[in-house]
Copies of this chain bind each other. A is one copy, B any other.
């Protein structure tokens, strides 16, 4: 198999009672998924787990083995409910240690903010053998251990960490996509979609219905790693829809 055909996968563990209680709307899944796609890595599974050591350990040990990369978000702050580092160290069977570079970063960051207290020093704790991920937004860095990337829970901090990782992970071909929309009930064109997909190997067509202003419509997302195949599939799908009497809106509705 050519290197270009290898599919690289990632899993994401979102750690936090606040997501499972419905208090906080997660925003990390969408931003990490979109970022991974550009790196040529597919997000294959997400698990949202509580601030519970056993749950984190189980998820980490399942997903780090079954994927090329594992990302986690949440639980790396200074407070008692931040248990991600300890749980991941336990999952890996390694000690927790103070990372000297993280200590130096935090020491500098807090120099004009009241000093490096014991609670703040907690954010320099890493599973032994880790390197750091630059935090461009605030003090505490992210953590990399092997194929595991331990990121912040606050979305704009995670965004900065992703930015600093851009281009550093090996991946395959990114999945390209194109969207077209129609004012049609998807149930009217289900057969048309299925037969179009069958006619274009290497392309997948997703159908996403919506209801707006009392009208029924759907967007169709065509995905492929091959730009020419993608273009042909979109052109064919558009032609079939137009022939059926449903004008197509390029880019989606």
Across the interface, which residues of B come within 8 angstroms of A193, CB to CB? Answer: 79-80
**Interface residues contributed by chain A, number (CB under 8 Å):** 71
Is the pair B205, A81 in contact by a Cβ cutoff of 8 Å? yes
A236 at the interface (CB under 8 A from B): no
Residues A201-253 near B (CB distance < 8 A): 204-211, 221, 223
Is the pair B33, A22 in contact by a Cβ cutoff of 8 Å? yes
A18 at the interface (CB under 8 A from B): yes
Q: 13 new A-B pairs (CB below 8 Å) besides A24-B30, A45-B50, A118-B191?
A: A17-B204, A17-B206, A18-B206, A21-B221, A22-B29, A22-B32, A22-B37, A25-B27, A26-B26, A46-B46, A117-B187, A154-B209, A154-B210
Is the pair B43, A21 in contact by a Cβ cutoff of 8 Å? yes
A119 at the interface (CB under 8 A from B): yes
Across the interface, which residues of B come within 8 angstroms of A42, CB to CB? Answer: 20
The distance from the CB of A35 to the nearest CB of chain B, in whole angstroms, is 8
Is the pair B45, A21 in contact by a Cβ cutoff of 8 Å? no
- Given A79-B190, A80-B193, A24 and B55 contact (CB-CB distance below 8 Å): no
Q: Count the copies.
A: 2
Partner pick for A48 among B20, B37, B46, B154, CB 8 A cutoff: B46
Across the interface, which residues of B come within 8 angstroms of A125, CB to CB? Answer: none
A123 at the interface (CB under 8 A from B): yes
A34 at the interface (CB under 8 A from B): yes
The distance from the CB of A103 to the nearest CB of chain B, in whole angstroms, is 14
A194 at the interface (CB under 8 A from B): yes
A138 at the interface (CB under 8 A from B): yes
A49 at the interface (CB under 8 A from B): yes
- Given A177-B23, A205-B81, A122 and B46 contact (CB-CB distance below 8 Å): no
The distance from the CB of A123 to the nearest CB of chain B, in whole angstroms, is 7
A134 at the interface (CB under 8 A from B): no
